[in-house]
Every structure is written in structure tokens, then in C-alpha cells.
Amino acid sequence: MWIHKIIKKRFEAETVNNVHIAKATASFQGVRLTVRCFIADGVLIDTGAKSMESEFASFFQQHDIDQVVITHYHEDHTGCAAFLQQTMGLPIYMNEPMIEYCRQKADYPLYRKIFWGKRDPFAAEPICVFLAKRHMGGDSDTGPCCGPCRLFESRNGPAV
């Protein structure tokens, strides 16, 4: 799409307290939108925007990631999920109510497609499965997951 050629993009990465942070900004005619993703202890939190997939892909490939947690379904948080699943073979976890929505072709307003691109469908598992597997020594039969979930680190309290 021709409009992508006139959107200014900026990508930065830094590490703070062993957390790797990627920050991407898209700007057009005075409107500036920013998205971030984080890697901590092998877990990628959010995946960034499809419109900046090459920048995010380089960031992902520089780090040891074994799982992905998505905070919510918006395209600036899920845009590179399909890439991570297909190219890097990573499992993806998110709140259950939006899993089916993310398995479908993206459907959102044009201005968001212009800034963030059109994310590809991907398959996620309920976040409670991730929490059981990673932190509680459980299996994937954790029952239904309803409402918002917070990442919790047993030694330090809530992480997100």
C-alpha cells in the first residue's frame, strides 16, 4: 500500500533490569503512535505491529524466547504473533475470550491498518494454561479462564 511509504517509522531496543524492551513508533502528519513489547525470563509479552515486522523480527531473533503472552488482542500487540508461531514455532497465550477472534482474518478500521498493518491469523491457547505450565508445575487441564489475568512471579509479586 502506497501510504506505508509516507509513514515515518522508528524502532529502538534497550535492556533494563534484565528485561529486553522494543519500542516502535509510527508517525504521520503529526499523529504519533507507539507500541512496546518486553522479553523477561524467556517470555515475550506482546508481539508488536505487523507494519514493523522486520524490525521486531530482528529483535526477537536476538533473544532467547520460549513462549509468548499477549495482553490483549489489538493489532499493535498481536501483529507479529503469526510470524512468531510460524517462523520460530513459539506457543502463544492470551485471555480466552479473544482467541477465536485472533484465529480469523483481522477486521478493524482502515486508519489502524495504515499505522499497524493487517495482522495475520494465529492460534493461541488460554493464558491460564501458560500460568499452570510455567509457574505452578501444572498441566494444560486447568479449567476455564475468565476475566483479566496478571502475570505473577512467586518471589516478587505481580509482574504485569
Residue 117, number of CB atoms within 10 A of its CB: 22
Alpha-carbon span 47 to 86, nearest angstrom: 13
For the CA atoms of 38, 43, 44, 46, the dihedral, rounded to the nearest 10 degrees, stands at -90
* Beta carbons within 10 angstroms of residue 73's beta carbon: 19
Cβ atoms of 56 and 72 closer than 8 Å: no
Give the pLDDT of residue 22: 97
pTM for the whole thing? 0.81
* CB distance 11 to 53 below 8 Å: no
Cell of 5: 511509504
Q: What is the pLDDT of residue 134?
A: 55
Task: Give the N- to C-terminal CA distance of the chain in Å, as an integer.
Answer: 36
CA distance 118 to 140: 31
Instruction: Pick 2-127's CATH classification: 3.40.50.620, 3.60.15.10, 1.10.3720.10, 3.40.50.2000.
Output: 3.60.15.10
Residue 94: closest CA among 156, 42, 44: 44
Read off the pLDDT band of 110 (50, 70, 90). confident
The widest CA-to-CA distance across the chain, in whole angstroms, is 50
pLDDT at 85 (0 to 100): 97
DSSP 46-64: ----GGGHHHHHHHHHTS-
- Can you give the pLDDT at residue 132? 58
